[in-house]
A and B are shown apart, each in its own frame.
Chain A
Amino acid sequence: MNEQALPRRNNEGFLESANEWTQAVAQVIASEDGIKLSEKHWEIIEFLREFYGKHEIAPPSNRLFVKAVREAFGQDKGNSIYLMQLFPGTPAKTACRIAGLPRPTNCL
């Protein structure tokens, strides 16, 4: 899949509709950030997709993203360093962008 074939996105690269997400879309968006998706990435992406399906909201801030991951997977993965290594920048924003979710509301 190339850039042109991606579903509609906003000016920060977030999908306009979470329903249009596919794994192929995730790979293209991740490559824009220089990320090659591994099993570890997919685990978090799938967690976020499930979280959004259940609560109709993405974790609104980076700290709440870390908190939610910690609740689900424990301290080993639910910490800033682990998530920062997988999703550089602001992990909640980077991960939500790749997972096709809306931009976290309280992230700068």
Chain B
Amino acid sequence: MTTLIVIDQAPYGLWAGREALDMAFSLATFDQPVSLLFTGAGVNWLRKGQTPDAIEQKSVERNLSAAPVFGIEQLLADEASCQRYGLSPDELIDGANMARGSSGLLASYTNVIFSN
């Protein structure tokens, strides 16, 4: 079984994305193959240089940097969404990669879960 968790909402405004991240960590805890796809406004999770101290939140950029340590397989950024939000490949955080054509990607996992 392979799982893809899709985050399509911007960070910091809502809790939904963090819950999705928790879900990914829980799957990794039990050695279940899991990857994360960021699409739509969700690609803003992957922008380098986030400093949310003044809004008193933890940095999702730093949280995501723990993903490879915990065994999360891939951090994927939908390429078309990145273009829409002005994100070039070198502005993505370390470990994240561009993915082309997310609907084909959705079809290649046994389980796809959108964060709410």
Q: How large is the interface on A (under 10, 10 to 19, 20 to 34, 35 or more residues)?
A: 10 to 19
Asked if B71 is at the interface (CB within 8 A of a chain A CB), the reply is yes
Q: Known A60-B22, A67-B69; judge A106-B29 contact (CB<8 A).
A: yes
Interface residues of A in 15-37 (CB under 8 A from B): none
Q: Of the candidates B29, B62, B63, B65, which one forms a contact with A64 in the assembled complex, judged by CB atoms under 8 Å apart? A: B29
B25 touches A60 (CB 8 A): yes
Q: Distance in Å from the Cβ of B65 to the closest Cβ of chain A?
A: 6
Q: Is the C-beta of B100 less than 8 angstroms from some C-beta in chain A?
A: no
Interface of B is mostly: helix
Query: Are A64 and B22 in contact, CB atoms less than 8 angstroms apart?
Result: no
Q: How many A-B residue pairs have CB under 8 A?
A: 45
Structural contact, B26 and A106, CB atoms closer than 8 A: yes
Task: Please name the residue on chain B nearest to A68 by beta carbon.
Answer: B69
> Contact at B65–A61, with CB atoms within 8 Å?
no
Cα(A71)–Cα(B65), bound, Å:
14
Which residue of A has the minimal Cβ distance to B30?
Answer: A63
Chain B 21-41 residues near chain A, CB threshold 8 A: 22, 25-26, 28-30
Report A-chain residues with C-beta under 8 Å of the C-beta of B25: 60-61, 64, 106
Q: Which of A4-12, A38-46, A50-58, A83-91 touches B? A: A50-58
Q: Mark interface residues in B6-23 (1 if CB within 8 Å of A CB, else 0).
A: 000000000000000010
In the assembled complex, which residues on chain A have CB atoms less than 8 Å from the CB atom of B28? 64
Report the separation of the CA atoms of residues A54 and B69 in the bound assembly, to the nearest whole angstrom. 12
Q: Distance (Å) between the CB of B26 and the closest chain A CB? A: 6
B69 lies within 8 A of A56 (CB): no
Please tell me which one of the listed residues B26, B29, B65 contacts residue A54 in the complex, with CB atoms under 8 A apart.
Answer: B65
Please tell me if the beta carbons of A61 and B66 are within 8 angstroms of each other in the complex: no
Question: Which A residues are closer than 8 A to B by beta carbons?
Answer: 51, 54-57, 59-61, 63-64, 67-68, 71, 105-106
